[in-house]
Amino acid sequence: MRMADPRILKVVLFLAPLCPICQNMSYDLRLLEAEFADDPVEFIGVFPNASTQPAQIEAFRQEYGLSMEMMQDTVGWTEALDAHWTPEAFVLDARDSVLYQGRINDRYFAPGRRRNKTRNRDLREAIASSLKGAAVAVPRTDAVGCPIEGMSLAPTKQ
């Protein structure tokens, strides 16, 4: 029996096609897809809101040039990971243990409020550390974005 590579990572990104922060973070997501294209990292875009239509998911992929698999959450990722925001990122190891949960980076510090320059690329650092087998220095950050339909609000920033 072949053992799973412990370095294989899943990056699960909760997205919403009408969330302006998701739209604005798409450039950063494209950069991450390109940077880790040759590494054992699988990016998955999960659309948790029941109101999101399949055509909106495909339009989001095309408009923002993302190559990752994208899907409606029909299997319960939102509840299993306790996601509350779009965008919200999770880095999972080969056993689906959460290594990182939170924001993509610190550009947004409140809905509609952003810095001129990104200071911390939290998701990028979490992926890079995990690929090296190192602990993620900051395993949890506050996601800033649009609330996921039907999820009670988490004690993170809205």
Query: What CATH fold (topology level) applies to the domain 9-147?
Result: Glutaredoxin (3.40.30)
- Please state whether beta strands 108-110 and 69-72 pair in parallel, antiparallel, or not at all (unpaired): unpaired
Which amino acid does the sequence have at 116? N
Question: What is the number of residues in the chain?
Answer: 158
Whether the CB-CB separation of 15 and 47 falls below 8 Å is answered with: yes
pLDDT value of position 5: 54
* 59-92 tens-digit pLDDT: 999 999 999 999 999 999 999 999 999 999 999 9
Mean pLDDT for each 10-residue chunk of the chain (158 residues)? Answer: 61 97 96 97 97 96 96 95 97 96 94 88 97 95 93 53
Q: Which two tokens stand for residue 57?
A: 């998911």
CA distance 28 to 47: 18
pLDDT value of position 152: 62
- Please state whether beta strands 41-47 and 69-72 pair in parallel, antiparallel, or not at all (unpaired): parallel
pLDDT value of position 7: 60
User: Biggest alpha carbon distance in the chain?
Assistant: 51
pLDDT value of position 151: 75
Q: Which two tokens stand for residue 119?
A: 């200071």
Which letter does DSSP use for residue 9 in this model?
E
**Three-state SS sequence of 32-66:** HHHHCCCCCEEEEEEECCCCCCHHHHHHHHHHHCC
Of the candidates 155, 119, 114, the residue with the CA atom closest to the CA atom of residue 138:
119
pLDDT value of position 6: 56
Whether the CB-CB separation of 152 and 29 falls below 8 Å is answered with: no
